[in-house]
Amino acid sequence: MAFVILDPCRQEQSAECLTVCPVDCIEKGPEQYYIDPDVCIDCAACKSVCPVDAIVEEYDLTPDQETYLEQAEEFFAK
């Protein structure tokens, strides 16, 4: 399981998540930050510091939010 960053990050991009991630699986993309689902260890450190609650667990995504996981997978496939 991994965490996924959703749309509120696009407006905020405060990056607290970067400083607390113990495995450095978060990177800045062109529009928002992304979490590498293959590296994330599901520690939830990023979720607890996000000021806009933009980070959710992969399995808590609604069907319309699934695209955010797909975007993260595509971003890290490069």
* CATH number of the domain residue 8 falls in: 3.30.70.20
Query: Over pLDDT 90: what percentage of the chain?
Result: 90
pLDDT tens digit sequence for 47-78: 999 999 999 999 999 999 999 999 999 999 97
pTM: 0.92
Domain containing residue 23 = 3-76
Banded pLDDT at 1 (limits 50, 70, 90):
confident
Q: How far apart are CA 37 and CA 56, in angstroms?
A: 12
State residue 75's pLDDT score.
96
How far are the Cα atoms of 11, 71 from residue 2, in angstroms, in the given order?
Answer: 22, 14
Pairwise CA distance, residues 24 & 49, whole Å: 15
- For the chain, the average pLDDT equals 94
Overall average pLDDT of the 17-32 stretch: 95
Q: How many domains does the chain have?
A: 1
